């Protein structure tokens, strides 16, 4: 027997509106422009917090997607605000690309060309183009794509290098991995580069983007996803040799739907079938991270045996979508149950019904973690996107 999907739709539709309303109320910085870099659980902003490209790009994506899906003109104003701030403060006028962070007043802070940050800027710009048909945003997106490919793509081994210096030369250090351990290619950065290229292809279906999407899917299928376990390797060197790994349940379930999404934009049925087969196996493997209460554990260190049983807001959001995608591909009801159970867990433990939005996470015994509703990493992208994806996919089940 199917759960009451009409009730789930209604809840997700309201939650989506609530998330965007929260960000419109508490995120804008009326003094320095753009959006605060940090707001705590009591909705108190830190006016001196640095502002990161990841957060600002995700805000741009969120309100652009909101405008595109709802035609709510109030969302256009917030999307415009995010686009204008990125264009004015994050774009490097000398070397191109985007800075990793600026200070509260918009002065460049961390200048490294972290590919993860470039990817999210491209993702947000592409969605803004989808929503507004902005010619300047499309020009920026094309330029950013071309810089990424020119400077960071590895033509010999495939994939992208993790980070470069401001002038696109070799970087002295990285932000998200350890350069001194030769972690020069990472799963996480590649996943979000693929996501960005997929969105760019929707507004600029150029052959060069097609080639890069195919290359990225090849890197996942042949280097990043372990063919024995259908879990992803996390940190690799230039030659794709594993340097450090663990089981990241959230990334595995997220990739299980982002990879098929990428394949689906290309006119290649054989590739889509191949990717879908792998995606189903990834969703099955990720199921090992679920507990009976519907919560998904954060990570398992295969070397030390340490199990991080925190239930993060973004992991739970991705679990909703990933398991529903697996249900759509297989029609196996347990996948649907896992998706709906993820939403039930979110409602019970992660929604802040007093101050709005979601908590960063909870422990295995449901104690609230963290104190940031808004930060460099706590953003409206995972949870608002999950609501949109769920609503669209559930509509297809009717």
What order of strands is seen across the sheet that includes strand 361-362? 311-312, 361-362, 368-369
Three-point CA angle 348, 299, 371, nearest 5°:
50
Tell me the C-alpha to C-alpha distance, in Å, between residue 347 and each of 5, 250, 351, 352, 368. 15, 18, 6, 9, 14
Q: Which residues are CB-contacts of 299 (< 8 A; sequence separation ≥ 6)?
A: 246, 247, 248, 249, 307, 308
Tokens representing 329 are 């591909």
Is 90 a residue whose pLDDT tops 80?
A: yes
- Give pTM, 2 decimals: 0.96
- The percent of the chain in helix, strand and coil, each rounded to the nearest 5, is 55, 10, 30
Is 96 a residue whose pLDDT tops 80?
A: yes
Report the pLDDT value the prediction gives residue 17, as an integer from 0 to 100.
98
pLDDT tens-digit map of 374-394: 999 999 999 999 999 999 999
Tokens representing 181 are 């351990």
How buried is residue 304: exposed, middle or buried, by Cβ count under 10 Å (0-12/13-18/19+)? exposed
Report the pLDDT value the prediction gives residue 305, as an integer from 0 to 100.
87
pLDDT tens-digit map of 330-355: 999 999 999 999 999 999 999 999 99
Report the pLDDT value the prediction gives residue 16, as an integer from 0 to 100.
98
- In percent, the amount of the chain with pLDDT more than 70 equals 99
CA–CA distance, 115 with 132 (Å, rounded to integer): 25
Sign of the Cα torsion 115, 117, 120, 121 reads: negative
Q: Which domains does the chain have, with CATH numbers?
A: 5-396 (1.50.10.10)
């Amino acid at each position: 027997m199917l759960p009451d999907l009409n009730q789930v739709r209604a809840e997700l539709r309201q939650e989506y509106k609530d998330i965007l309303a929260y960000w419109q109320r508490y995120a804008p910085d009326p003094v320095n422009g753009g959006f605060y870099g940090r707001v705590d659980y009591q909705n108190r902003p830190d006016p001196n917090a640095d502002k990161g490209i990841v957060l600002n790009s995700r805000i741009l994506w969120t309100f652009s997607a909101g405008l595109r899906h709802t035609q709510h003109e109030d969302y256009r104003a917030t999307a415009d605000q995010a686009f204008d701030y990125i264009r004015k403060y994050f774009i490097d006028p000398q070397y191109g690309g985007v800075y990793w962070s600026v200070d509260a007043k918009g002065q460049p802070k961390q200048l490294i060309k972290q590919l993860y940050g470039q990817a999210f800027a491209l993702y947000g710009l592409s969605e803004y183009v989808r929503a507004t048909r902005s010619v300047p945003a499309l020009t920026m997106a094309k330029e950013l794509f071309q810089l990424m490919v020119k400077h960071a793509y590895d033509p010999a081994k495939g994939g992208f290098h993790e980070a470069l210096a401001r002038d696109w030369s070799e970087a002295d250090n990285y932000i998200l991995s350890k350069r001194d351990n030769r972690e020069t290619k990472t799963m996480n950065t590649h996943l979000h580069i693929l996501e960005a290229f997929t969105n760019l292809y929707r507004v600029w279906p150029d052959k060069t983007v097609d080639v890069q999407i195919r290359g990225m899917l090849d890197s996942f299928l042949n280097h990043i996803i372990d063919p024995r376990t259908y879990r992803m390797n996390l940190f690799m060197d230039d030659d794709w040799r594993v340097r450090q790994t663990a089981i990241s349940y959230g990334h595995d379930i997220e990739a299980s739907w982002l990879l098929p999404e990428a394949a689906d934009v290309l006119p290649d049925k054989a590739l889509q079938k191949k990717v879908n087969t792998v995606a189903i196996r990834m969703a099955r493997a990720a199921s090992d991270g679920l507990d009976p209460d519907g919560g998904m554990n954060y990570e398992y260190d295969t070397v030390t045996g340490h199990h991080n049983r925190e239930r993060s807001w973004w992991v739970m959001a991705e679990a909703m979508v990933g398991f529903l995608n697996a249900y759509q591909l297989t029609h196996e009801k347990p996948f649907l149950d896992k998706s709906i159970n993820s939403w039930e867990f979110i409602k019970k433990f992660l929604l802040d019904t007093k101050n709005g939005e979601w908590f960063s996470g909870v422990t295995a015994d449901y104690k609230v973690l963290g104190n940031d509703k808004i930060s460099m990493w706590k953003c409206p992208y995972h949870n608002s996107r999950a609501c949109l994806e769920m609503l669209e996919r559930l509509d297809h089940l009717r």
